[in-house]
Structure 1
């Protein structure tokens, strides 16, 4: 039986998971826990539903990230390579990251998330366009920095979504008995990872542009 269609199917699924991430955040944020006049039962119901939608977004992101590994592994294992897959795979990656960053920016509403999220999304949009141009189409820049960038992005996004998924919120405050100092340290570390990823995203873009300029000479 021919399974060479599987890598492309997983890549398409990653685009769908990006949409699911946004749906999860949108539904969670629509459940306003600060409305006046809510009974304790209604507040508890909304808090539970909100946590479930955050969990939906979290697992959608994890599933999308898993397809990123599986489609590449299957493409090599099945020797299944296509122009469609080569074109869609990086776009699917960027859609998943952008969906998570947009959801987080809308959730936390702080410049500490807005700026690095905008930097990463703007870089990805620019590089998607540039790779479609004649000058950028044939350039391949294998770089360990690009892998570090992806790793930092994934770690930061998971680190920011995970508390929303595991800590139930009542009236906008997380119900947790954990150390506030530890929570602050963890938050600073995770946000710091996102800023590092943003810096690396433009550094790797610069490497790509430099290589494209060298090849065009």
Structure 2
């Protein structure tokens, strides 16, 4: 009777992905309004910006948690399905991709644009590749691919966190020294590592398909 739970959790991750981008877009709108405001209006827009960043971060964390919970629920209730096996990596890619778009919109730096573009392009290619007939007999994602997803999510959450805590001070620091935040360099490096792993795991998957 609980067999529906794993797939429901996976589908909820797709919803959380959309909510992440929605929150980031609204935070950007509030930040733009803040630049030309003063007095009480500036305070209101700053509060809105922080609330939207917090909304986006909570949506992302909630989506990331479902990545663990759906697999656990599938094993617990012995409810693994072909649909779930197909949807799980798609939901991961959607969550990461939309979150990266939001982070890129917020930080506006080529240090983010480039690895984000590599990761998103790889994920679009992999999603298309999995629909090909020759990929039908290929095994589930490798441990390295799962590690890559975990690194992506950790880097994204870390880059989102300062804006959820104090977006106004973060913006001020960015204007004087882009990405000059405590630990930001390590998080950006982590994102680049995830981008490199994305290319490696894509190459591994292509080799497996050719060998089938």
The two structures have a TM-score, normalised by structure 1, of 0.89
The 8 Å contact of residues 17 and 94 in structure 2, kept in 1 or not, is answered as yes
Q: Deviations over 1:97-148 (max 9, x none)?
A: 0010000111111111111001001101111111111112211266442233
Quote the Cα distance in structure 1 between the aligned partners of 2:142 and 2:77: 25
The answer to which structure has the higher helix fraction is 2
CA deviation map 1:12-59 (0-9, x unaligned)? 111100010011001110012211xx2321111111110000000000
For the Cα contact (< 8 Å) 2:170–2:181, is it kept in 1?
Answer: no
In our comparison, the structure showing a higher alpha carbon Rg is: 1
2:124 and 2:167 map into 1 onto residues whose CA distance is 35
Partner of residue 158, structure 1: 157
Which residue number corresponds to residue 191 of structure 2?
194
| 1:168 Cα deviation after fit | 3.8
> In the alignment, is residue 34 of structure 1 matched against residue 35 of structure 2?
yes
**Deviation per CA, 1:178-212, whole angstroms, max 9, x where unpaired?**
xx9xx546111110000110011010111111111
CA distance change for structure 1 residues 123 and 187 in 2, over 3 Å: closer, same or farther?
Answer: same
Aligned mates of 1:187, 1:171 — CA distance in 2:
11
Aligned to 2:54: 55
Confirm whether residue 64 of structure 1 aligns to residue 63 of structure 2: yes
* Equivalent residue number for residue 20 of structure 2: 21
Which residue of the partner structure matches residue 210 of structure 2?
213
With structure 2 as the length reference, what TM-score do the two structures score?
0.91
Taking the aligned partners of 1:86 and 1:203, their CA distance within structure 2 comes to 21
Q: RMSD of aligned C-alpha atoms? A: 2.0
Partners of 2:170 and 2:14 in 1: how far apart? 33
For residue 137 of structure 1, what is the aligned residue in structure 2? Answer: 136
Distance 1:206 1:40 in 2: 54
- Structure 1 regions of 5+ residues with no counterpart? 175-179
In structure 2, C-alpha distance between the alignment counterparts of 1:108 and 1:84, rounded to whole Å: 36
**Unaligned runs of at least 5 residues, structure 2:** none
Distance 1:142 1:170 in 2: 40
For residue 139 of structure 1, give the secondary structure of its aligned residue in structure 2.
Answer: coil
- Could you list the runs of 4 or more consecutive aligned residues of structure 1 that deviate by over 4 angstroms after TM superposition? none
